[in-house]
Chain A
């Protein structure tokens, strides 16, 4: 617009407040350790001098117990028994006594090895041990990094193999023992510390009381994490006398308070996810998903559009698993993504990334007749029409008259000519146009548990009745969709069922119902992303092919929660009822004898 607009941020200059903002950090150029030797402080120099003196002393006679080390260890209030530290110094004595002809350096290396191990182990324990380790290390080398130490050791091991094999083996065994003890001590320490820190989860009544009085959110958050920690390894971390159900009840209560969900929905979610994954899911629902747009291939190409948008100052990036998707990183303040000239000219549409999935699974071909039963506001339908390149015919339907207006607007804006837009109840298509379509997309109305990040009301407003009602309508719509398609003729005869919900009652249960009531078969969706559908879930047992369906969660793919299933219509008839089927099976079972 106007003069070539420059959207870069200019660094502020001058006496104003903005110029005084802290600039980015400037790191000094890294110096190679090899180029110049590290400068020593006064203390380091003194100790270096002492060291050289010691070395000369070692040359002449073997060292006695290193008093320095022992005293330091006693000062340490570690769980490590003193015996261990003395152990290492004993080893050192043994070692150095055996060495007769080895050079000073090698002895140093071995002692360093032992120390290194001790250092490593002391690191695990506490900061106090760490300090000691560092000081001792300093005794032998100035500014040496651990890697250097290890390298040094390897060389020495090679040399010593011949001479002190047995000693090294003994040493390594002792070190292994020490490690085991350390680990056990570490676990015990964790447990102890847990008790010391006090994972104290109050009783259920106390929690409820607290909730009524005045919930303290940071406190509740901490308690949530504690309860999840306990539940993760329940048998070891439980408090005596308290049941798992009590812990779960407290967990539920706290989560409902903290994230403002109603109990029904929280129970359902806990059943589906374990405690830790549930927290991830809930956290993901608090944040919005990234904004994505879909290029309208009838009017432009993705690269051209991306360049045009970047020229407007909108940072976009390509979505890898789609040929038409763009993800918007940043829009400048003065630009609305839904009102740019490119948008108004119909070159793109704002659409969630998970909405690409059902259309990718549907894969319509040119010249087909497609029905979209719940089309508004039209993102998926326009996608279908764009793939079909304005050939064939697409019938877009939505029950809600107001939302149909948005459909009409979108279709005209994006330049689609082969559409018929209607406003029926979707179930009517079974009677109006039975077996008339090649493919049907049913993006069923649902409870919206996958898009909580878009609409927070779902957290509190959904109840068992709502879910049952949704489920009932979805089943009827799916049967009507199946009736509207003609049977599989080698190329067409597919139904795509998708919802933006993650509840099993609205997804797998509906497909299972359709499998029983109509002659359809689940086929692979052709999608790379997504988790497979449940075949067994709590008390439900679904058809084994249910694992071909795809589920998407906000915390796993950073897209809205979604479910997609692809069905193929095998024949127009209705399968036998389960009773008849059972009778048949009985007959079959009798005959072989």
Chain B
């Protein structure tokens, strides 16, 4: 477990910026203490400082997870955001999409969101912005990338893709091994 190097920090923060904009500061300085990012086995973990210090005393090989895993840095040097980060993206995210109940199952199986499944979209969403996908009952279902800006969505065909799927909560069941 080690703190992130500069390049890695840049990678992570640029990715996060796409979803939560300039609120990245809010992630690190929270009301109940200081949080930090740590790298362990190629994965980025977001954890409180006291817990991190305690865990640092444990043998490295046996530590499986700390706090919350945000994602992993691939061999090709890219940062992949996992569904496990959803709880922290959801409150700070600026752009949101609500989908109808009929489209929920479809999205949770890993498919993209079509215009026919779209219920609402937040105002002034730029094209290709990171969005959090919510159900009609405001349960966060995952996140993705907006394929069309809000203005374009209004004129889109029912079969047009509105949001590219990136991660959904169905992965907890489908894809457990990838999380660890």
Task: Give chain B residues whose Cβ lies under 8 Å from the Cβ of A393.
Answer: 50-51, 54
B13-48 contacts to A, CB under 8 A, are 32, 46-48
Which of B48, B102, B108, B177 is within 8 Å of A344, CB to CB? B108
Closest B residue to A393 using CB positions: B51
Task: Give chain A residues whose Cβ lies under 8 Å from the Cβ of B48.
Answer: 417-418
Nearest Cβ on chain B to A458's Cβ, whole angstroms: 27
* A1-B105 contact in complex given A341-B135, A409-B172, A419-B65, C-beta closer than 8 Å: yes
Closest A residue to B32 using CB positions: A391
A70-97 contacts to B, CB under 8 A, are none
Task: Give chain B residues whose Cβ lies under 8 Å from the Cβ of A2.
Answer: 101-102
Which of A1, A344, A395, A417 is within 8 Å of B172, CB to CB? A344
Decide: B176 and A406 in contact? CB cutoff 8 A: yes
Task: Give chain B residues whose Cβ lies under 8 Å from the Cβ of A220.
Answer: none
A407-438 contacts to B, CB under 8 A, are 407-409, 411-413, 415, 417-424, 432-433
Decide: B64 and A409 in contact? CB cutoff 8 A: no
Closest A residue to B68 using CB positions: A417
Cα distance A404–B179 when bound, in Å? Answer: 12
Decide: A345 and B65 in contact? CB cutoff 8 A: no
Decide: A411 and B65 in contact? CB cutoff 8 A: yes
Interface of A: prevailing SS: mixed
Which of B59, B62, B65, B173 is within 8 Å of A408, CB to CB? B65
Task: Give chain B residues whose Cβ lies under 8 Å from the Cβ of A417.
Answer: 46-48, 67-68
Decide: B58 and A420 in contact? CB cutoff 8 A: yes
- The interface size of chain A toward B, counting residues with CB under 8 Å, comes to 34
Cα distance A313–B64 when bound, in Å? Answer: 38
| B63 part of interface (Cβ distance < 8 Å) | yes
Task: Give chain A residues whose Cβ lies under 8 Å from the Cβ of B57.
Answer: 432-433
Cα distance A1–B137 when bound, in Å? Answer: 11
Decide: B87 and A415 in contact? CB cutoff 8 A: yes
Decide: B67 and A1 in contact? CB cutoff 8 A: no
Decide: A423 and B64 in contact? CB cutoff 8 A: yes
Task: Give chain A residues whose Cβ lies under 8 Å from the Cβ of B64.
Answer: 401, 404, 407-408, 421-423
Cα distance A393–B57 when bound, in Å? Answer: 14
Query: Using a Cβ cutoff of 8 Å, how many contacts connect chains A and B?
Result: 95
| A405 part of interface (Cβ distance < 8 Å) | yes
* A420-B54 contact in complex given A409-B172, A432-B59, C-beta closer than 8 Å: yes
Decide: A409 and B176 in contact? CB cutoff 8 A: yes
| A30 part of interface (Cβ distance < 8 Å) | no
| B170 part of interface (Cβ distance < 8 Å) | yes
| B159 part of interface (Cβ distance < 8 Å) | no
Decide: A418 and B67 in contact? CB cutoff 8 A: yes
Cα distance A378–B180 when bound, in Å? Answer: 15
Task: Give chain A residues whose Cβ lies under 8 Å from the Cβ of B102.
Answer: 1-2
* A405-B180 contact in complex given A2-B101, A339-B173, A420-B58, C-beta closer than 8 Å: yes
Closest B residue to A416 using CB positions: B68
Which of A345, A406, A411, A420 gathers most chain B CB within 10 Å?
A: A420
Closest B residue to A422 using CB positions: B62
Nearest Cβ on chain B to A561's Cβ, whole angstroms: 29
| B104 part of interface (Cβ distance < 8 Å) | yes
Closest A residue to B46 using CB positions: A417
Decide: B62 and A412 in contact? CB cutoff 8 A: no
Decide: A420 and B55 in contact? CB cutoff 8 A: yes
Nearest Cβ on chain B to A419's Cβ, whole angstroms: 7
Nearest Cβ on chain B to A480's Cβ, whole angstroms: 15
Decide: A345 and B59 in contact? CB cutoff 8 A: no
Closest A residue to B47 using CB positions: A417
Task: Give chain B residues whose Cβ lies under 8 Å from the Cβ of A420.
Answer: 51, 54-55, 58, 63, 65-67
Task: Give chain A residues whose Cβ lies under 8 Å from the Cβ of B135.
Answer: 341
Task: Give chain A residues whose Cβ lies under 8 Å from the Cβ of B63.
Answer: 420-422
Decide: B69 and A412 in contact? CB cutoff 8 A: yes
Decide: B177 and A405 in contact? CB cutoff 8 A: yes
Task: Give chain B residues whose Cβ lies under 8 Å from the Cβ of A526.
Answer: none
Cα distance A369–B51 when bound, in Å? Answer: 10
Closest B residue to A338 using CB positions: B173
Decide: B172 and A413 in contact? CB cutoff 8 A: yes
Which of A1, A308, A405, A418 is within 8 Å of B176, CB to CB? A405
* A422-B58 contact in complex given A341-B169, A345-B139, A411-B65, C-beta closer than 8 Å: yes
Decide: A412 and B176 in contact? CB cutoff 8 A: no
Closest B residue to A394 using CB positions: B51
Closest A residue to B48 using CB positions: A418
Decide: A408 and B54 in contact? CB cutoff 8 A: no
B92-147 contacts to A, CB under 8 A, are 101-102, 104-105, 108, 135, 137, 139-141
Taken residue by residue from 306 to 337, chain A's Cβ proximity to chain B (1 for < 8 Å, 0 otherwise) reads as: 00100000000000000000000000000000
Task: Give chain A residues whose Cβ lies under 8 Å from the Cβ of B51.
Answer: 393, 418, 420
Cα distance A421–B69 when bound, in Å? Answer: 11
Task: Give chain A residues whose Cβ lies under 8 Å from the Cβ of B50.
Answer: 393
Nearest Cβ on chain A to B51's Cβ, whole angstroms: 5
Closest A residue to B85 using CB positions: A412
Closest B residue to A425 using CB positions: B62
Nearest Cβ on chain A to B28's Cβ, whole angstroms: 14
* A345-B169 contact in complex given A411-B65, A418-B67, A419-B65, C-beta closer than 8 Å: yes
Task: Give chain B residues whose Cβ lies under 8 Å from the Cβ of A407.
Answer: 64
Closest A residue to B33 using CB positions: A391
| B150 part of interface (Cβ distance < 8 Å) | no
| B166 part of interface (Cβ distance < 8 Å) | no
Nearest Cβ on chain B to A437's Cβ, whole angstroms: 10
Cα distance A338–B173 when bound, in Å? Answer: 9
Decide: A341 and B180 in contact? CB cutoff 8 A: no
Decide: A432 and B58 in contact? CB cutoff 8 A: yes
Task: Give chain B residues whose Cβ lies under 8 Å from the Cβ of A405.
Answer: 176-177, 179-180
Closest A residue to B104 using CB positions: A341
Cα distance A413–B68 when bound, in Å? Answer: 10
Nearest Cβ on chain A to B40's Cβ, whole angstroms: 11
Q: For the complex of A and B, list the 4 residue pairs with the smallest distance between their C-beta atoms, beginning with the closest.
A: A344-B169, A412-B84, A421-B65, A405-B180
**Chain A residues close to B by CB (< 8 Å):** 1-2, 308, 338-339, 341-342, 344-345, 369, 391, 393, 395, 401, 404-409, 411-413, 415, 417-424, 432-433
Q: Can you list 8 A-B contacts (CB < 8 A)?
A: A1-B101, A344-B172, A345-B139, A345-B141, A409-B172, A422-B64, A432-B57, A433-B58
Q: A1-B101, A412-B172, A418-B51 are in contact. List 14 more A-B contacts (CB 8 A).
A: A341-B139, A341-B141, A344-B169, A345-B139, A393-B54, A401-B64, A409-B176, A412-B179, A413-B172, A417-B67, A420-B55, A420-B63, A421-B66, A422-B62
